[in-house]
Amino acid sequence: MKKILYIVSTVTMLFSLTNCADKFDEIDVNPNQTSHPLTYGIFNSTMREYLTEMRGSFSSGRVALPWVQYSAQRTYTEEDRYQYRLTSGVAIWSVSYRVAQDYKQIIDLNTDPATRSQVSAYGPNDNQIAASRIMLSYIFSNLADSFGDIPYYSYGNKDADFQALNVNGQLQPKFASQAKVYADILKELKEASEMIVPGVVFTSGDRLFGSSAKMKKFANSLRLRIATRVKGVVPGAEAHIADAIASGVMTSNDDTVGLTFENNLTYPSPMYNDFRTRSDLAISKTFVDLLKGNKGNFGLDPRLFKYATPKGVAKSLILAGTSPESTNPADFVGMPYGVSSSAAPSQASAGNFNYFSKNVYKMDYTEVLMEFSEVQFLLSENNGWSQTEYINGVKASLSRWGVDQTSANAYVASLPPASKENVITQKYIALYMQPYEAWSEYRRTGYPNTLLLPGQTGTYNVPYEGSTTYTFTSLIDGLTDLPTRLYYPTSVQSLNRVNYEAASTSIGGDKMNTKLIWDKN
């Protein structure tokens, strides 16, 4: 009898499982996940994810931020001396392609006949597609600026070399040449700008643009930036410069595009969040000396008092937003750049450093993608280093950082005339906390020429002994200047070996001193 009952029970169980299998598609649905994603939600979370990784204390603070000498580390200085953690390069590469895939998803939802009508409830289809094309252009330009040849995706160009973001068909994409990538990015930005319709980008939740008019100015301004970088190298760049300007670029600080993080500990700005638990970074002595007028062609820059915290101020006051400001230059010394890891702690313990200011270390800090002052400097360059746009660029930067009008007027009145050196150096000062762009501009132009380079000597104070000199020594063989690119990620080398080797050969070697096609310095 027991055996009969066991058989019956087993058959019943198998029958039940079969029924469940037949209805698997019905039960395997997450009730908390929408089948129709909110495209503005994807857009916002994607930008936050990208900037959190790219502007945090590792992918930025231990790579480009010290290399352009906005910062110097207080303890472990190997990265300042170019020996960056390869995991940082992997993170930059990974997050870039991950968020690029999300922007492509927005395009797919707005072009697929099955979903196009549904997602139009969140904003005009054309504007959502344009926004995604623009952000893809921004991300891929940053990738190309950092690595060289890269796997690339284009919305409007079906070139056989553009194989990225095709996870269902191509897991080992080719690397497109820099020339092809930059040329297509310029085309994408032009076409995206031209497809924008008046009104909103998204019906709600747009935390980046706010209006299609602002997005259009960003697209044209970004095209101006990239075309200026590759002029004389990529055919048609000069025509794109003229067309971008004619089509309308940023005209005031209100047009500056950035993501403002939330004033809470759930989604605070990446630098603030990292500063809560670590305090490795300080503003560098190199940069402080430039702002104090000890180097370069300019006098005391009032942005110094907005960029840095006076020495000796407690970290807790900065985090609380209550740290005092000072206009006494003696309160700002900067952390010596490129010293050995054994020498750095003595400088930090002696108080010979300045943290970034409360204007940077705040929860709701705005990470800028591109600002009006940069556009003015670009216009100055493309108008033969014109004085008017040069002055306007400096004024815009002073205003954005909250410098009072009296100090701003005095500083502007003391500026030397516009020239390549002066315009690009002022652009460098204005690009504070946007290190990857400053790094690209240095590689392109050679300015500012106030940076401490390998083989040069610097000074710092030894407690109770006075000033001493040291030699900045690169930890990477062959680097006698700033690094010119990042290594391709180790994951790419192992998982896409054939195309990695082809790309490495194409660019002249996977090295930190291999120059990109626009690197004229």
pLDDT at 10: 38
The helix-helix angle for 212-230 and 237-247 (nearest 10°) equals 160
For 272-320, write each residue's pLDDT tens digit: 999 999 999 999 999 999 999 999 999 999 999 999 999 999 999 999 9
pLDDT at 7: 38
In order, the DSSP letters of 147-200 are: HSSB----SS---TT--TT-TTT-SSPPPBPHHHHHHHHHHHHHHHHHH--SS-
Residue 91 · residue 145 · CB < 8 Å: no
For 374-417, write each residue's pLDDT tens digit: 999 999 999 999 999 999 999 999 999 999 999 999 999 999 99
- 485: helix, strand or coil: coil
Q: How close are the terminal C-alpha atoms of the chain, in Å?
A: 91
Residue 285 Cα to chain centre, angstroms: 23
For 343-366, write each residue's pLDDT tens digit: 887 766 656 789 999 999 999 999
For 182-225, write each residue's pLDDT tens digit: 999 999 999 999 999 999 999 988 999 999 999 999 999 999 99
For 492-506, write each residue's pLDDT tens digit: 999 999 999 999 999
Residue 259 Cα to chain centre, angstroms: 12
Residue 55 · residue 273 · CB < 8 Å: no
Looking up tokens 């009952």 gives 5
Sign for the pseudo-dihedral over CA of 275, 277, 279, 281:
negative
Contacts of 509 (CB under 8 A, 6+ apart): none
pLDDT at 465: 65
Residue 504 · residue 476 · CB < 8 Å: no
- Ranges 105-109, 165-169, 396-400: which has the least confidence: 165-169
Bond before 448 cis per omega within 30 degrees: yes
Q: Residue 372: is its pLDDT beyond 70?
A: yes
Q: Residue 435: is its pLDDT beyond 80?
A: yes
For 219-243, write each residue's pLDDT tens digit: 999 999 999 999 999 999 999 999 9
pLDDT at 271: 97
Secondary structure, 3-state, 421-463? HHHHHHHHHHCCCCHHHHHHHHHHHCCCCCCCCCCCEEEEEEC
Q: How many CB atoms lie within 10 A of CB 16?
A: 10
pLDDT at 463: 65
Q: List, in order of start, the domains of the chain with CATH numbers.
A: 39-69+81-252+483-507 (1.25.40.390), 270-471 (1.25.40.390)
pTM confidence score = 0.92
| Distance (Å, whole) CA 26 – CA 395 | 61
Residue 512 · residue 476 · CB < 8 Å: yes
Q: Residue 4: is its pLDDT beyond 50?
A: no
Residue 418 · residue 387 · CB < 8 Å: yes
Q: Output the CA–CA distances (angstroms, integers) from residue 182 to 143, 177, 185, 352, 443, in the order listed.
A: 11, 9, 5, 43, 17
| Distance (Å, whole) CA 455 – CA 457 | 7
For 134-155, write each residue's pLDDT tens digit: 999 999 999 999 999 999 999 9
Rg (CA), the chain: 26
pLDDT at 348: 64
For 46-80, write each residue's pLDDT tens digit: 999 999 999 999 999 999 999 999 999 998 999 99
| Distance (Å, whole) CA 233 – CA 50 | 29
Q: How many CB atoms lie within 10 A of CB 105?
A: 16
For 81-100, write each residue's pLDDT tens digit: 999 999 999 999 999 999 99
Looking up tokens 């009072």 gives 404
The helix-helix angle for 387-400 and 420-430 (nearest 10°) equals 20
pLDDT at 464: 61
- Ranges 12-26, 95-109, 168-182: which has the least confidence: 12-26
Q: Residue 21: is its pLDDT beyond 70?
A: no
Average pLDDT over the chain reads 92
| Distance (Å, whole) CA 129 – CA 124 | 9
Q: Residue 33: is its pLDDT beyond 70?
A: no
Residue 468 · residue 346 · CB < 8 Å: no
Strand partners, 71: 283
| Distance (Å, whole) CA 241 – CA 308 | 35
| Distance (Å, whole) CA 170 – CA 96 | 17
Q: Residue 455: is its pLDDT beyond 60?
A: yes
pLDDT at 8: 36
| Distance (Å, whole) CA 215 – CA 249 | 10
Q: Residue 431: is its pLDDT beyond 90?
A: yes
User: What percent of the chain clears pLDDT 70, i.e. is strictly above it?
Assistant: 91
pLDDT at 350: 57
